[in-house]
Structure formats: structure tokens, C-alpha cells
A and B are shown apart, each in its own frame.
Chain A
Amino acid sequence: MDQKRVELFIGPNHPGAAGNSCMHLWMEGDIIKHVEPEYGYLHRAFEKLMEHRNLMQNVSIIPRICVPEPDINEEVYARCIEDICSIEVPERAKYIRTMVLELARMAATFLNLGFMCGGLGIYTVMQWAFADRDFILDLFEWLTGGRVYHIFIIPGGVRRDLPSGFKARVEEVLKYIEARLLEYDRTFYHNSFFVFRTKGHLIVGEEEIKRYCLTGPAVRAAGFAIDMRKLHQYEAYPDIDFDVVTLKDGDAYSRMLIKRMEIEQSIDIIRQVLAKMPEGKVLNKPINYKKWIPPKGESYQVVESTNGEYGYYMRFNGESGNPYRVHVRGPSYTTGTALMQELMKDKPIEDMPIYLSSFGVCPPEIDR
């Protein structure tokens, strides 16, 4: 390397880095000349572990792949197995799953907002975001018994029905969040510092989107109405009336705004879900896990996570009850590696945390 260059590390433990990952930077002055993302600090071999657990045991391992939004893992895992084993899911379970996914999306967005504020130094909003996320975690605690890892969606439905008075509780929290959003607007989204640091920065256009197969807010911020909830019509989404939000600029500012607008979208979806939720059972009990050997087959299922298309590929060989192969593909896989190397080149170092937060880079997805 050139003698002028300085090597810097962001992470593995750094407030600007999401999770335990390391961005190895080669700097000239404060300009990044080269980034080498280094992952592996979180590696726990989930995919391999799942090959050594049966279908029911895996349910409690998978949420750990994505800490901020664990439910998407349960959802795609359950849908893969339902697809391979042709299991019907009760209607009510589909609605409960939709509600859980949207609550999780809000919780993850708040966490992401907190990371962004941490990177920008707007610590007031960081505290707010983490605190308000806790109200959603409280809801999860009432519904699933766990705050962060819910282990609630299993193949065949969900583990429990809504507890009594849950709908009213949800509505209470939704109203609170709606009121808080005005505060967030004033303090963060309208904040000149935030706009100055993000508007026109880290622009992703059609070319990058195609080359790196980007999905989620990054694409919608660039004007493409691509949303897995519309494209794949899973769970109760076909019955829900919602619009895909889009902006035109494709910069970090638009990506953050898309997530902000999607909080309102989630609130609207949850209200519809609660109003339309049919009565009935919530679980078609899957086959006794000790005798469950799925037929030979494979399946790829996707879900729209906070950061884009999140998918599981699963394959069974028809001889064993354990999956033959599981592959987890999250949106961070490109945004956290190749796209970062291209986009961060010749950018000032202060754009690094903005990059990580606006794309929602989640190291466990890469280290799964």
C-alpha cells in the first residue's frame, strides 16, 4: 500500500458499526480509498447447525440469525416447510403472522433509526428510538412470551392465539407511535443536520440496483415500486389494502424517509389486520417431530424485511428429518460487502455510519 495511506478500523466494537463486524479502511486524509469489510465475528454456523437439528428444534435457532428482526426468519422457515410438506395454515394464523411481521418491521426500523442517530451524533433521538421500540417489545412479550426472540411462528401456524385484550393493547401502542412520529419529524427528519448529512449522499441508481440485485428501501427510494409483500402475496397481504411507498432520489436521505413512511404504512396494515382477523384455530399441528421426514424437495421462500428481500432456500433429501441444506440470503449480503466497496470509494469517512444505517447492514445475515 501507498505510504500516504492510513489504515483504520471501524469495529468490531464501534457505535457506528452495526453488530460485530469490522470495516477495514485505507484512508488518504479523511477520504476512504479502499474498504475491506471483514465479517466472521458473529459466525455461529447457523446453516450447518440446522442440518443437525430436526424441524421443530430449528424453530428456536433461526431467529438468532437476524437480531433486530427475528420474526422474518421464523416466517420464511415456516413457509419453506409448509411448501415442501404441503401444510395448510389456518386463516387466523396468517393474520397473526402478518401482524407479527409488521410489528417486527416497526421495531427494527426504530432500532435502525437509533443506529443512524448514533452515527450522526443526535443522541436524543437515539434514546427515544430505543425506548419506543420497547413498547413494541412489550407487545411481543404479551403475545409470544419473549421480548427479542419470539419463537412464535412455527410450521403450521403460530404457537398461541392472541391473549385477551391484546387488540386494545396494540391499538394503544399504535396511537402512541403515531403521536411520537410527529416528534421524530420535528427532531430528526426535519433536522437540518440530518438533511445536510444525508441528502444527495450515497446515491444508488438503476445501474447499481441491477448490478447488485438490491431490494427493499434502497430500491423504493430510487423510484421503483418493488415490494415482496405485493410480488409474492404471502400470508394475509393479498387481503390487505396498502400502497408501496416510493421516492425518486435514491440517496441516503430518501432511504431513511422510506423507512419513516413505512412505519405509518405498518400502522395502517396492523389496523386492517386486527379489523379483518377471522376467528378459528391458529395452528394445524405439524407431524410429531420425531417421525417427521419431509418428502424429497426444495423450496425458496422470501419475505420483505426492513432492508429488502430476505429468503431461505431449504432442501430435504427425503431420508432424514433434518434439512439437507439450508441457505439464508439476506439483503445485507451485497450491501454489506460488494456494494460498500464500490459506493464508499472516495467518500469521506463520516459517510461510513450513514452508509451502514441507511442500508441497514446487518452482519448476522452475512455471518449466518
Chain B
Amino acid sequence: MAKKYTEYKQKKSLIEPLLAIKNLFQKPITVKIPAEKREVSPRYRGFHTNDLETCIGCGNCSEICPTSAITMVHDPSLPDDEPGRKPQRPWMDYGRCCFCALCVDVCPSGSLSMTKDFVWTSYNADDFYFMPDNKGIDNKGWQSDPETSIFHHEAVPVDILPSDERKKDFVVVTQGYDREKALAESMRCMECDVCRLACPAQMKIGDYIREIYFERYDDAVRIMLEDNPLSGVCGTICTHRCQDNCAISLRGDSLSIMYLKGYAVKQADYNKLLDELKPEQELGKKIAIIGAGPSGLSCAFYLRKAGFSVDIYEKNAEPGGMVRYGIPSYRLPNDIIGKDVKLMQEMGVNIKLGVEVGKDIEFEKLTSEYDAVYIACGLQKGMKTGIANEDAEGVWQAVDFLGQIRRGEDMKVGKKIIVIGGGNVAMDAARSAVRLQMKQHGNVDVSVICLEDFETMPAFKEEIEEAMEEGVKILPCVGVPRGKEGVLVRDGKVSGFRGYPVKALRDAQGRFNPQFDENAHTDFEADMIIEAVGQGPDFSFVPESIQEKMEKVAWRFKVDENYMTSVKGVFAGGDIWNARRDAISAIADGKKAAEGIARVILS
């Protein structure tokens, strides 16, 4: 049946229109502004309001603005080096703004929104150019949430081996992204680079992720190598401060920068990059580097690129330092370190393996033969907890424990293992112990004891979760007061551990000063205890006569802005200097030291 509206009765009348006169007696529908107020819709797109506390100055609003109405203006009152925030805020030119609210929909922090205000009069054109602030924040109109925004807030997860598969052996837990997932994840990056300040090496993250998205992996790695020669390592085990400061993480999942980097390195062909990396000219200067860890390798890379000839002295059989001997192979397989190191060797870096300075070669010999010596020996000695009976049989230092496994030496583990410490090394030790227990005993009994409570444990949350999936028990807020018996010993062997509940970890001033309930204690049965409470340096290879000349801060050598110690020609960096003590900080140190060495030697 045809719809009613398809028929229309055409009519012609002179009288009918006059009936409109009856409208004279009706109430008008006009709103009498300003006496009457118009009801403004809750989504109204009026003037902007910007919560300056939560704004991170990422500049996405400015970049999407189709009319270029938004300018990011530097604010000198903001700190320059705050990770995850840029010292700039958006200014609006309301002569240009078209009120499309794309800036609101693209704002990752959600600080920018629009108000219901639409009246603003002034005789001066300059008054229409100003910085939106908290004014009107109670009168919000158009706002965005992660669901309705136009950025992608949901991360693409990586495939992780199920826990009963992975705990059987030291198989790699995750292979990272495949092509499809890497594309989907790299697409999310908004290239605002607020993460860059958080990275100790200040890698150009936005730039290389863009190259990854367009599948130009060689270009991506070329950008990475500008700041980080161990990109493969950092694509697998980095502490990824960048991810913690990702703009999208404010209202969604942060970008998996680490895995993207790892994927790009896997795909890139280093042979193609080699020609560009080889030095254009030889400077004829010789540099010795002690330690082939991340800092030493990084320093060697940049020195070699600049044309120095570099010799690295490494006491272990393989290069990599803590990255190889401190991190279990299920997290970082050797071939990834190998790819990065091979590139350096092909560039002409000479790595002398199995040569221990102080034993096989004297330190003075290095200082006399080379133009400069860079000490990047790292922290190789496990720190002791200082509790009683620490030297009993069955008590291990995590560094030695992990190192021995990594070297492929035979390692017998106990049936009941206690790991002391709440950091990432403790997790590495516990999870390595799980794998050895599965092999040797067929079942898992590993407990991690730490002073911190579960929320404030310094280890990564995903590390803790994965450890717990594998059967590791976490016992937070447990410790041993000074002077109390901690390790229980029977016949000279470890038989257990006596733990006291922690009442408070810090004192009123916020200093680390744990308080225990000394009346209550619990005994845990154990036949092996692994201490993972930190590491210390071993400077015994530096002769006393030289060490005396070196100025120290606590136990660290004091270095100047060129990373040179008080002794001319001797430089130091890496874990023994910077307080962060992770691979990427050591790499950053290595690069800065290389620049310092070049400055000092060539000046």
C-alpha cells in the first residue's frame, strides 16, 4: 500500500491564509536573550577549557587542528626535564577556531574539553588569542573518553607461553610481536614524543615507530642506533620507562614500545647498515674499555663510529656483561645479544674475551698504552643482607646463582628455596630456580620474601604475575631485624629461614628504616636461600695507588661532565656511576662517555 504522504490534496484559497492571524494570540517561542537563559545542550562545543594540572603538553591538539588555531607555547614555569610531560601548553586563536572539537577527541590526557560558554566580546582582536585554563571547568560541554576518542587506547597483547609450558625449561617466554600485531600496535603511536624525555638514552621513539608502521625496518633501526647500539637487547628486556610515560597510558594501555623495537631489530638487515656505521676516517687514537657490558659496548660503538680504535677487555667468555650473565635466557636469548655485538665487531671494535684486567693485564699497562681508559666494569658482586649465618652452605648470591646458570655450569638446587628481595633480580632468581626445580625434582617450591608490601614491590608487575603463575609464592612484609637470627642452620647447612613481620618500612621522614614486630616470628623451611638484595662493585683491579688519587662519592668514582674521573685519561660510567642501574641507563652513559672521551682527547 502506498504511503499516506504520496497523496497530497492540492487546494487554492484566498481565505485560508488569513487564519494565520490566530497566531497573534499565542505565546511567542522566541527566547528573550539576555533576560531569559537558553538551555545549552550537555554536548555543546563552546570555548575550550584545559585542566593545566593534567595537561602534558603533548601537542596532539595542535597537530590535528585543521585551521591551525592551536599553538603550543613554551611555559618557562614548567620543568624542562619532567618525563612524560613537555613544558608547553596550548594557546587558542578564536579568530581561527572552528569549534570542531577534534582537539578534544584526540587529547590523550583528557585535560582538554569544551565548555557551554559561547559569548565573548571584546574590542581588541588580541583578546581572542589566549591560553584556555581551568576557567569553565565546571561547565563542561563536549568531552571525550577513551571509547569515544579517536586515538586507540587498547593495546595489542603479545603471545606468552602458558605457565606450565614455560616453567619446564629455559625456553623464551615470549617471541614478541608478529607482523600483523606489530603493525596494529605501531599504528597506535601518536608521535607526540613525551616518552622521549623518560628514556635515559632519549631515543627518538615516535620516529622509529613511524618507520616500523610503514615497514621500513632498516630505517627504524638506523634511528635507534643514533642513541642505542644495543637496540635488540632493549627490545627484549628494557625497563621501558618510556612505556610508563606514554601519553596514551594516561587513559588507556601504554604503547608496547619495547616489543615494537624488538620486532624491528629482528626484521632489520644489519649488513645494509654496516657501511654507514663504519668510520669515515681513522683518528689514530686508541681507547681501552674495561667490561663488555651494555655501557662498555655502547661507548665502544660510538667511539668506533667516530674513528677511534677500541679494545674491550672482558673477563668472561662471552660479551654482554650483566645482560648476558645476570638475565636468564628465558627472558633474553643469546642470539639477540649476539646480533648487536656482531655489528660492533664488524665495525671494527676489538673485544678481548677472557682477559681479566688486574690479573691477565695490569691496569697501569692500559693507562700507559692507550689514550684513554673507560671503566665500565659494572656491579658484579652480590650485596649481602648482613643477617646471621649468611655464610652457611646453601646460601647463594643471586648474581652468582644466575651467572652460574648462564655459563652453563652444573647447578644443583634445593627442594625448598627462599629468595630474599623484591626486585627484578629476585624474580629472575626465583623463576630460574623454578625451572631448575622442575627439571631436577619435578615440582616447584619457591618463596620470595621481601620487606615491601605487595603493591610497592620494585619488580615489574608482569614479572611478579608471571612468577606467581609459575608457582612462586610471594611473602611480602617479611624481614629480619638487625641482630636476630635469620638463616636457620643445621649441621652447617641451611635448614630454614626465620622471618619477622614488618611494621613500617620507612620512618616519619620517609627514609628507609624498616621496623619489625620482634615478638612474632615465623619459621620457613628451606634448604636453599638466594639473596637478591642488590649488587656492589669490585674495584680490586684498580691499583691502590691510582684509587687513592680518584675522588669518590660514597663508593663511586666521581666523574665530571665528560665522565672523566679525577685521574686524567681514566673515565668511568655505567652501573658504577649512575643510580638507575639498568641496561638502558648504562647504554646512555656509554654514549655520553664516548662523547666526553672524544671531547677530551680531540681537544
Q: Is A349 in contact with chain B by the CB < 8 A criterion?
A: no
Q: Is B435 in contact with chain A by the CB < 8 A criterion?
A: no
- The interface-forming segment of A182-190, A209-217, A300-308, A352-360 is A182-190
Whether B187 contacts A288 by the Cβ 8 Å rule is: yes
Whether A289 contacts B8 by the Cβ 8 Å rule is: no
Minimum Cβ distance to chain B for residue A196 (Å)? 8
What are the residues of chain B within 8 A of A5 when measuring CB–CB? none
Give the complex CA separation of A149 and B101 in angstroms: 12
Q: Is A57 in contact with chain B by the CB < 8 A criterion?
A: yes
What are the residues of chain B within 8 A of A58 when measuring CB–CB? 66
Q: Is A86 in contact with chain B by the CB < 8 A criterion?
A: no
Give the complex CA separation of A250 and B67 in angstroms: 43
What are the residues of chain A within 8 A of B141 when measuring CB–CB? 145
Q: Which of A192, A285, A290 counts the most B-chain CB atoms under 10 A from its CB? A: A290
Give the complex CA separation of A103 and B17 in angstroms: 27
Give the complex CA separation of A260 and B10 in angstroms: 12
Minimum Cβ distance to chain B for residue A183 (Å)? 7
Q: Say whether chain A's binding surface is mostly helix, strand, loop, or mixed.
A: helix
Given contacts A151-B101, A268-B3, A60 and B66 within 8 Å (CB-CB): yes
Q: Is B188 in contact with chain A by the CB < 8 A criterion?
A: yes
Whether A183 contacts B152 by the Cβ 8 Å rule is: no
Whether B150 contacts A289 by the Cβ 8 Å rule is: yes
Q: Is A8 in contact with chain B by the CB < 8 A criterion?
A: no
Quick one: CB contact mask for B84-102 with A, threshold 8 Å, 1 for yes?
Answer: 0000000000000011111
Give the complex CA separation of A57 and B102 in angstroms: 8
Whether A268 contacts B16 by the Cβ 8 Å rule is: no
What are the residues of chain B within 8 A of A257 when measuring CB–CB? 8, 10
Given contacts A145-B142, A191-B17, A245-B6, A160 and B43 within 8 Å (CB-CB): yes
From B44, B64, B99, A56 is in contact (CB under 8 Å) with B64
Q: Is A144 in contact with chain B by the CB < 8 A criterion?
A: yes
What are the residues of chain B within 8 A of A131 when measuring CB–CB? 29-30
What are the residues of chain B within 8 A of A138 when measuring CB–CB? 41
Whether A285 contacts B100 by the Cβ 8 Å rule is: no
What are the residues of chain B within 8 A of A142 when measuring CB–CB? 41-43
What are the residues of chain B within 8 A of A288 when measuring CB–CB? 151-152, 187-190
What are the residues of chain A within 8 A of B63 when measuring CB–CB? 290
Minimum Cβ distance to chain A for residue B107 (Å)? 14
Q: Return the chain A residue nearest B153 by Cβ.
A: A285
Minimum Cβ distance to chain A for residue B116 (Å)? 10
Given contacts A59-B100, A190-B12, A289-B64, A145 and B17 within 8 Å (CB-CB): no
Given contacts A163-B42, A192-B13, A290 and B5 within 8 Å (CB-CB): no
From B6, B44, B66, B67, A243 is in contact (CB under 8 Å) with B6
Quick one: CB contact mask for B172-203 with A, threshold 8 Å, 1 for yes?
Answer: 00000000000000111111000000000000
Q: Say whether chain B's binding surface is mostly helix, strand, loop, or mixed.
A: loop
Given contacts A187-B17, A288-B151, A149 and B66 within 8 Å (CB-CB): no
Give the complex CA separation of A261 and B13 in angstroms: 19
Number of chain A residues close to chain B: CB under 8 A:
53
What are the residues of chain A within 8 A of B10 when measuring CB–CB? 257
Q: Is B105 in contact with chain A by the CB < 8 A criterion?
A: yes
Q: Which of B42, B45, B148, B150 counts the most A-chain CB atoms under 10 A from its CB? A: B150
From A149, A159, A188, A193, B148 is in contact (CB under 8 Å) with A159
Give the complex CA separation of A144 and B6 in angstroms: 31
Q: Return the chain A residue nearest B210 by Cβ.
A: A291
| Contacting residues of chain A (150-193) with chain B, CB-CB under 8 angstroms | 151, 154, 159-160, 163, 183, 185-193
Q: Is B125 in contact with chain A by the CB < 8 A criterion?
A: no
From A59, A243, A261, A291, B187 is in contact (CB under 8 Å) with A291
Given contacts A151-B100, A288-B152, A187 and B19 within 8 Å (CB-CB): yes
Q: Is A264 in contact with chain B by the CB < 8 A criterion?
A: yes
Give the complex CA separation of A186 and B65 in angstroms: 48
Give the complex CA separation of A204 and B78 in angstroms: 69
Give the complex CA separation of A195 and B17 in angstroms: 12
| Contacting residues of chain A (285-316) with chain B, CB-CB under 8 angstroms | 285-291
Give the complex CA separation of A367 and B555 in angstroms: 76
Give the complex CA separation of A160 and B66 in angstroms: 20
Whether A186 contacts B20 by the Cβ 8 Å rule is: yes
What are the residues of chain B within 8 A of A348 when measuring CB–CB? none
Give the complex CA separation of A314 and B148 in angstroms: 27
Minimum Cβ distance to chain A for residue B264 (Å)? 15
Q: Return the chain A residue nearest B30 by Cβ.
A: A131
Give the complex CA separation of A33 and B152 in angstroms: 61
Given contacts A60-B98, A60-B100, A146-B99, A159 and B105 within 8 Å (CB-CB): yes
What are the residues of chain B within 8 A of A185 when measuring CB–CB? 11
Give the complex CA separation of A243 and B106 in angstroms: 42
Whether A264 contacts B20 by the Cβ 8 Å rule is: no
Q: Is B2 in contact with chain A by the CB < 8 A criterion?
A: yes
Minimum Cβ distance to chain B for residue A52 (Å)? 10
Whether B42 contacts A192 by the Cβ 8 Å rule is: no
What are the residues of chain A within 8 A of B20 when measuring CB–CB? 124, 183, 186-187
Q: Is B4 in contact with chain A by the CB < 8 A criterion?
A: yes
Minimum Cβ distance to chain B for residue A321 (Å)? 11
Q: Is A61 in contact with chain B by the CB < 8 A criterion?
A: yes
Q: Is B532 in contact with chain A by the CB < 8 A criterion?
A: no
Q: Is A43 in contact with chain B by the CB < 8 A criterion?
A: no
Give the complex CA separation of A285 and B106 in angstroms: 12
Minimum Cβ distance to chain B for residue A363 (Å)? 20
Whether A192 contacts B66 by the Cβ 8 Å rule is: no
Q: Is A48 in contact with chain B by the CB < 8 A criterion?
A: no
Given contacts A265-B3, A287-B187, A288-B190, A57 and B43 within 8 Å (CB-CB): no
Whether B101 contacts A145 by the Cβ 8 Å rule is: yes
Q: Is B217 in contact with chain A by the CB < 8 A criterion?
A: no
Q: Is B464 in contact with chain A by the CB < 8 A criterion?
A: no
Minimum Cβ distance to chain B for residue A202 (Å)? 17
Q: Return the chain B residue nearest A134 by Cβ.
A: B29
Whether A188 contacts B17 by the Cβ 8 Å rule is: yes
What are the residues of chain B within 8 A of A160 when measuring CB–CB? 43, 148
Whether B5 contacts A264 by the Cβ 8 Å rule is: yes
Q: Is B213 in contact with chain A by the CB < 8 A criterion?
A: yes
Q: Which of A53, A131, A146 counts the most B-chain CB atoms under 10 A from its CB? A: A146
Whether A145 contacts B114 by the Cβ 8 Å rule is: yes
What are the residues of chain A within 8 A of B6 when measuring CB–CB? 243, 245-246, 261
What are the residues of chain B within 8 A of A145 when measuring CB–CB? 41, 43-45, 101, 114, 141-142
Give the complex CA separation of A204 and B579 in angstroms: 85
Q: Is B14 in contact with chain A by the CB < 8 A criterion?
A: yes
Q: Is A242 in contact with chain B by the CB < 8 A criterion?
A: yes
Give the complex CA separation of A141 and B210 in angstroms: 38
Q: Return the chain B residue nearest A262 by Cβ.
A: B5
Minimum Cβ distance to chain B for residue A155 (Å)? 10
Give the complex CA separation of A56 and B100 in angstroms: 11
What are the residues of chain B within 8 A of A192 when measuring CB–CB? 12-14, 17
Q: Is A270 in contact with chain B by the CB < 8 A criterion?
A: no
Given contacts A186-B17, A187-B20, A288-B189, A146 and B8 within 8 Å (CB-CB): no
Give the complex CA separation of A142 and B2 in angstroms: 34
Give the complex CA separation of A287 and B64 in angstroms: 14
Q: Is A283 in contact with chain B by the CB < 8 A criterion?
A: yes
Q: Return the chain A residue nearest B2 by Cβ.
A: A243
Minimum Cβ distance to chain B for residue A195 (Å)? 5
Give the complex CA separation of A142 and B116 in angstroms: 12
Give the complex CA separation of A260 and B6 in angstroms: 11
Q: Return the chain A residue nearest B16 by Cβ.
A: A186
| Contacting residues of chain A (260-282) with chain B, CB-CB under 8 angstroms | 260-262, 264-265, 268
Nearest 5 interchain pairs by C-beta: A60-B100, A57-B66, A264-B5, A145-B43, A145-B45
Q: A146-B99, A195-B12 are in contact. List 12 more A-B contacts (CB 8 A).
A: A56-B64, A57-B66, A145-B114, A145-B142, A151-B100, A163-B41, A191-B13, A191-B16, A260-B8, A287-B187, A289-B150, A291-B187
A–B pairs, 24, beta carbons within 8 Å: A57-B65, A57-B102, A59-B100, A141-B44, A142-B42, A144-B43, A145-B45, A145-B101, A145-B114, A149-B99, A185-B11, A186-B16, A186-B17, A192-B13, A193-B17, A264-B4, A265-B3, A265-B5, A285-B150, A285-B152, A288-B187, A289-B64, A289-B106, A289-B150
